[in-house]
């Protein structure tokens, strides 16, 4: 047999093997210091294993050595894109343990701040998601409008990212003069901008091709993995703690639970998860408008306790952060320092589903799928 015959006899026989790639921990599209260990067969991903801990700061251990009031600035730094929500849910848990009732004005201001924070968080999620699939303009537009929300926060408490604003029994500051006017002006400015996002990104043909039918998360899989927030509602499951288990004064407001519909592909795809966040900003606008219109007078400091010392016992309190069900399990031994604080991170559970919805897709689609989960590593690693 000649060399030519040997070559022709093996023609078409290609031996392949899987390759292991590391995406991160510094990859700019991983939304934080995350490493994804990816097994690929050519361009097709066969398995994804998230590696966490690069942003671990011992939040829960710190809580065992800090007074209840001192824990609040540490909650800010977990989900640093939704600090108001972290403050709010933790404070509500401690207040429930102590049997504290706060004035109506405090409740309304808290809701205003938390829903403005939801808008700011979703703007970040939507903008960076657009950037993940190649859209630079929506990213700059979203950041432009997010700055307007941060201006309101800075005007109120002097901070733009980490607020320490919602305290146990009250607030660090009352609303400044003309806040209601400025907030309404922002809402009037911002509401039409959502239509602009839809024109330049939501219904963009390339964006739809990159997100529709990609990374489909069936409802039963989402429930099995403990997914919550827009990730769960994007799969058509109507579960929003503000509606299903109302806390604070959410039962006083009219708003809708936004669900995925499979409009641009299959129910539960990346497009659905994205569009739920777009529509939720409209619902937050509704809530903030109602709260501003109903805002009562009062002293935001009158219920601040001189000592924060819950009785012995434990509580699990949960609320709806922009990323889903954020919960705090707090154990008290009667001292002014928690015996134990355990945080339930919605982004941690949402990230855990990535192999289920990512395997079988191309490497470029993994960036899209990860972006659609809108994770924050500060909350995941704690």
Dist. CA 133–CA 29, nearest whole Å: 10
- The residues spanned by each domain of the chain are 71-343
30 pLDDT band, cuts 50/70/90, is low
104 pLDDT band, cuts 50/70/90, is very high
Nearest Cα to 330, choosing from 79, 92, 131, 12? 92
pLDDT the model gives residue 7:
45
Read off the pLDDT of residues 139-185 as tens digits, 9 standing for 90 and up: 999 999 999 999 999 999 999 999 999 999 999 999 999 999 999 99
Asked if residue 288 has pLDDT above 90, the reply is: yes
* Four-residue CA torsion sign, 235, 291, 142, 74: negative
3 pLDDT band, cuts 50/70/90, is very low
Facing residues of 37 across strands? 22, 49
> Could you please report the per-residue DSSP string of 13-27?
------EEEEE-SS-
Query: pTM for the full model?
Result: 0.91
- The pLDDT of 179-194, averaged and rounded, is 94
Start-end of H helices in 265-376 = 270-294, 346-351, 354-358, 363-373
Tokens of 20: 């292991």
Q: Are 233 and 322 in contact (CB under 8 A)?
A: no
Read off the pLDDT of residues 114-133 as tens digits, 9 standing for 90 and up: 999 999 999 999 999 998 88
pLDDT the model gives residue 345:
93
Read off the pLDDT of residues 218-231 as tens digits, 9 standing for 90 and up: 999 999 999 999 99
pLDDT the model gives residue 6:
44
Asked if residue 331 has pLDDT above 70, the reply is: yes
| Strand, coil or helix: 313 | strand
- Give the CATH number of domain 71-343: 1.10.645.10
pLDDT the model gives residue 5:
46
């Amino acid at each position: 047999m000649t060399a030519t015959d040997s070559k022709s006899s093996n023609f078409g026989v290609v031996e392949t093997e899987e390759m292991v790639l590391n995406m991160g921990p510094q990859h700019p599209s991983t939304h934080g210091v995350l490493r994804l260990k990816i097994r690929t067969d050519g361009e097709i991903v066969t398995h994804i294993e998230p590696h966490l801990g690069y942003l671990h700061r011992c939040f829960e251990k710190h809580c065992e050595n800090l007074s209840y009031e001192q824990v609040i600035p540490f909650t800010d730094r977990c989900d640093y894109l939704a600090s108001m929500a972290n403050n709010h849910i933790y404070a509500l848990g401690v207040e429930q343990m102590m049997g504290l009732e706060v004035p109506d004005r405090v409740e309304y201001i808290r809701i205003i701040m938390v829903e403005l924070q939801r808008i700011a968080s979703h703007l970040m999620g939507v903008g960076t998601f657009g950037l993940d699939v190649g859209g630079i303009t929506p990213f700059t537009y979203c950041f432009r409008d997010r700055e307007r929300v941060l201006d309101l926060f800075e005007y109120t408490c002097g901070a733009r990212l980490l607020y320490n604003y919602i305290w146990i029994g009250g607030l660090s500051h009352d609303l400044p003069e003309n806040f209601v006017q400025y907030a309404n002006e922002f809402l009037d400015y911002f509401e039409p901008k959502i239509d602009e996002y839809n024109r330049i990104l939501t219904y963009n043909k390339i964006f739809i091709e990159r997100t529709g039918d990609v990374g489909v998360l069936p409802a039963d899989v989402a429930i099995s993995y403990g997914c919550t927030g827009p990730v769960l509602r994007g799969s058509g499951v109507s579960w929003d703690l503000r509606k299903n288990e109302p806390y604070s004064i959410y039962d006083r407001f009219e708003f809708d639970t936004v669900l995925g519909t499979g409009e641009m592909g299959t129910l539960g795809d990346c497009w659905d998860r994205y569009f739920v966040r777009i529509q939720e900003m409209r619902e937050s606008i509704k809530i903030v408008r109602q709260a501003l219109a109903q805002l009562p007078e009062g002293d935001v400091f009158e219920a601040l306790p001189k000592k924060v010392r819950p009785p012995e016992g434990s509580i699990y309190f949960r609320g709806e952060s922009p990323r889903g069900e954020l919960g705090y399990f707090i154990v008290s031994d009667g001292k002014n320092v928690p015996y134990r604080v355990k945080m339930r991170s919605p982004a941690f559970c949402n990230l855990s589903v990535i192999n289920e919805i990512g395997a079988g897709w191309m490497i470029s689609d993994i960036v899209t799928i990860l972006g659609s989960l809108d994770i924050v590593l500060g909350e995941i690693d704690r």
